[in-house]
Amino acid sequence: MSGFSADWLALREPHDLRARSGEIVSMVAASLDALPSLQIVDLACGTGSTLRALSPHLPVRQHWRLVDNDLGLLGRAKAMPLANHVTVAATPLDLNRDLETALDGPTDLVTTSALLDLVSNTWLDRLVVEIAARSIPFYASLTYDGRIEIAPGDPADGEIISAINAHQTIEKGFGPALGPAAAKAAIEGFERVGYIAAHRRSDWIIGPRDRDIQEAIFSGWADAAGEIGLAPAKAASWLMRRREFIAAGLSSLRVGHLDLLAAPIGKR
């Protein structure tokens, strides 16, 4: 399952929804509650997970500009059923090249989810500058922050986790990726331009019954560890032991994420 495939996004969405910080969502809604209608831009929207998660918490008329460079995912996002007070426009853009175009036009809120760990420090700085220049609040959910806890423990877990965190920094189309450093860099970046950055943990807490997502995560991690240089036999035997724990109904996992609301002072 690829990192951006519709199947993977569908598998992770219920876990994302459970993990999202309700406090940050409430702060996002409060930051917008004086406005009679909303123009929202969702960067790297995938199939529309942030729209589905956030729009029910915003009681006013909303128009979402959904931006992604994957036409298949955008097509699915555009086809989703919507409440009467929500409209969407799908905008195919490469955000590495055309970030400024994506932010063009009247905008009350910029959102994204599961994107910031993929981008480079340079691109993040550009995003911060462009958003601050427009004085818009920014809601970024589910930024991976490097914390992983797996139970029951296995002697190779530490090596696998280090390999995954190294793999996270490989270029994903935006220059060298921030990976686990992204959440902190985003907070600091927005604070530097005078924004208030509220953040809360939004960890995936995945239990023994969540077998499908564990299988997908662990096999993806074994591949990633192999790509970064871990001996293939070591990664394969780790995956075999993890699969035995999953099959026995014993395996659980926490993956650390952070949700962020960055708002110009006076707008939170």
State the residues that interact with ligand SAM by CB under 6 A: 4, 9, 44-46, 49-50, 68-70, 73, 94-96, 113-115, 173
Pick the closer one to ligand SAM by CB: 52 or 243.
52
Beta strands in 126-265 (DSSP E): 138-151, 195-201, 204-206, 252-264
Burial of 239 (0-12, 13-18, 19+ CB in 10 A): buried
Pick the closer one to ligand SAM by CB: 39 or 96.
96
Smallest gap, in angstroms, from Cβ of residue 70 to ligand SAM? 4
- The residue with tokens 């036409």 is 71
Pick the closer one to ligand SAM by CB: 73 or 253.
73
Q: How many CB atoms lie within 10 A of CB 4?
A: 18
Q: Which residues contact 50 (CB under 8 A, 6 or more apart)?
A: 42, 111, 112, 113, 139, 141
> Structure tokens of 118?
């993929």
Instruction: Classify 242 in phi/psi space as left (phi over 0), alpha (psi -120 to 50) or beta.
Output: alpha
Smallest gap, in angstroms, from Cβ of residue 85 to ligand SAM? 22
Kindly calculate the radius of gyration of the chain based on its CA atoms and give it in whole angstroms. Answer: 19
End-to-end CA distance of the chain: 38
DSSP string, 221-253: HHHHHHHTT--HHHHHHHHHHHHHHHHTT--EE
Q: How many CB atoms lie within 10 A of CB 29?
A: 14
Smallest gap, in angstroms, from Cβ of residue 9 to ligand SAM? 5
Q: Is 202 helix (H, G, I), strand (E, B) or coil?
A: coil
Pick the closer one to ligand SAM by CB: 256 or 264.
256
Pick the closer one to ligand SAM by CB: 69 or 219.
69
Pick the closer one to ligand SAM by CB: 14 or 232.
14
Cα separation of 14 and 4, whole Å? 16
Which residue is nearest to ligand SAM, using beta carbons? Answer: 46
Smallest gap, in angstroms, from Cβ of residue 100 to ligand SAM? 13
Pick the closer one to ligand SAM by CB: 173 or 208.
173
Smallest gap, in angstroms, from Cβ of residue 101 to ligand SAM? 11
Smallest gap, in angstroms, from Cβ of residue 158 to ligand SAM? 25
Smallest gap, in angstroms, from Cβ of residue 36 to ligand SAM? 27
